[in-house]
Amino acid sequence: MATAGSVLSEEQLLCPICLDLLNQPVSTPCGHNFCRECIQGYWQSANLSQCPMCRQKFYRRPELEVNTFISEVAFLFKKSLEQKDENETSAVGQYSGLRGGVSCDVCVGKRVMALKSCLDCLASFCETHLEPHHVLGTFKKHQLIHPMMNMQDRVCKKHEKLLGLFCHTDQTYVCRICIRKDHKAHHTVPIEVESKDKRAQIKGINAEVEKMIRGHQQKISEISQAVLLSRENSEIELEESLKVFNKLLLLVQRGQAEVAEVIGAKQRQVDSRASRLIAELKREIDELNRRNAELTQLSHTEDDLYLLQSFPAFTTLPSTKAWSHDTCAESAVYVGTMRRAVRRVACQLEETVKAEVKRLCEDEFRRAQQCAVDVTLDPDTVHPKLVLSENRKQAFHGDVALNVPDNPKRFYPGVSVLGKEGFSSGRFYYEVQVKGKTEWDVGVALESVNRKGGNMLNPETGYWALGMRQDGSYWALSSTPIQLPLVEKPQKVGVYVDLDGGQVSFYSVDSASHLYSFTGYSFNGRLFPYLNPRRNHGGVNSAPLIISDV
């Protein structure tokens, strides 16, 4: 009868999430198999019921039952692997830990397994060549042991006796004659005792290795889970972006159709009016041609009396319309109508884009707030003239230097302070109230920034900050500062940092709007929240910077 291992491969019985043998396997309606705990954990963390493999979505979370057949197959497969490991371990023990066992030293050509090793002959023998040791009296006295490789290396070169002891003093293997001569006062133990101690050490090392393996497997599971969640988030973001662009595209298409209809209707109106005008002009031309013919005929008559009598009837010209430039005016009105239609659609598109940007900014801001951390200020870094509140959440310039110990962490002369906790990975967010101030700098700084002497605030010196100046202007403090055209003055500033993504972003908390982002950076060290209330200026800028609860 075929075993589980001979029918299925190990890959077929691995859970796609934890990459381990299926434990309590369950099957989704789409036919994929997972550990029950893994798929339930995935659904809970993703907050969406779908298959991690084929992405089929389930409108209702399926009630999963353990697949007894797959569970039994996985159990048999695991059992066969354990049996295989036991057999290999048994073979290893029988043949002194050497793969494939010990070969007979007498047999030539085909490799034959040895049955015993002889301590007197210093060789290993198969069943056939071991026969003399059972028959001949001389050989019967030889000492036979389990087969071992390289018997010559197990004998003392000096006394030609079996190395049966281990000398701790010289860290070498010795025979019984050695300890009576060269190692008499040394600490020696039988090899069996030393081996037992080493086996205990091996067991401890093996336990540590197994722990490391489990840790690596857990890390693989975490990475796989992160990849699945990343794919899920990517699909959500892609769907969201498609909705936005489809909305804008539909608006453009509708606007284009509307403008085309306006232009077409106006052109049809112009065509109709032109047709009427042309028909009227042609009628008047026919009337004028008729009068012209009559005048020509009258001019050629030789009857002078008839000419004089008929001439008064021709002194009045046929009645015609006084034609103006109405057609040109119509064309000008047509062009203006078209432009107004395009402008109206463009304005509608602009309003829609602004609304979508505002909505996206609000979504981005809410996601940033989900990474909020509790920030307190570090008194060891605060400038001597800065005053911290008792809860270390506020800082303002006090004009008078406090008596504080100098240390390498403290800022001077820059009136700055860092947060107590630093971050080396992941994402974090905090908010600072700047209401009532005329100057301030807020952001993050590397732990390695220079705390002494003058310091330009920019990413090259280890600062990623936003600042306000006395004239009411706002600046992103990059290598070349960038002025921000803000319509509303932010009363509270949110700072979001993604260390792995190399991003520092600033938001106006009141309007949930994006102010500025530093992107594409690699942070070489821990980042700390950074505040600079700047100088008091006679009480004009005395309001504190306050770290707010999110």
The string over 449-468, giving b where at least 16 C-beta atoms fall within 10 Å of a residue's C-beta and e elsewhere, is bebeeebebbbeebbbbbbb
Residue recorded with tokens 């498609």: 242
> What pLDDT score was predicted for residue 252?
85
> What pLDDT score was predicted for residue 428?
97
> What pLDDT score was predicted for residue 340?
78
Q: How far is residue 376's CA from residue 268's CA, in Å, rounded to a whole number?
A: 73
Distances (CA, A) of 375 to 79, 86, 242, 330, 531: 53, 56, 38, 69, 11
Helix, strand or coil, per DSSP, at residue 528: strand
> What pLDDT score was predicted for residue 324?
62
Asked if 96 and 102 count as a contact pair (C-beta separation under 8 A), the reply is yes
Please choose, from the candidates 418, 430, 433, the residue with its C-alpha nearest in 3D space to the C-alpha of residue 528: 418
Residue 161 CB coordination number (10 Å): 14
Q: DSSP states of 466-508 as a string?
A: EEE-TTS-EEE-SSS-EEE--SS--SEEEEEEETTTTEEEEEE
Q: How far is CA 492 from its chain centroid?
A: 28
> What pLDDT score was predicted for residue 333?
55
> What pLDDT score was predicted for residue 353?
85
pLDDT tens track for 254-304 = 888 888 888 888 888 888 988 998 999 999 999 999 989 989 998 898 888
Tell me how far apart the 2 most distant CA atoms of the chain are, in Å. Answer: 181
What stretches in the chain show pLDDT beneath 70? 1-11, 46, 82, 84-100, 323-338
pLDDT tens track for 344-355 = 888 888 888 888
Backbone CA torsion sign across 76, 78, 79, 84: positive
Q: How far is residue 220's CA from residue 9's CA, in Å, rounded to a whole number?
A: 20
Q: How far is residue 421's CA from residue 400's CA, in Å, rounded to a whole number?
A: 27
Contacts of 113 (CB under 8 A, 6+ apart): 101, 102, 103, 104, 126, 147
> What pLDDT score was predicted for residue 440?
97
Is the previous residue joined to 413 through a cis bond, with omega within 30 degrees of 0? yes
Residue 532 CB coordination number (10 Å): 25
Helix, strand or coil, per DSSP, at residue 442: strand
Residue 548 CB coordination number (10 Å): 15
Q: How far is residue 72's CA from residue 259's CA, in Å, rounded to a whole number?
A: 69
Q: How far is residue 365's CA from residue 506's CA, in Å, rounded to a whole number?
A: 9
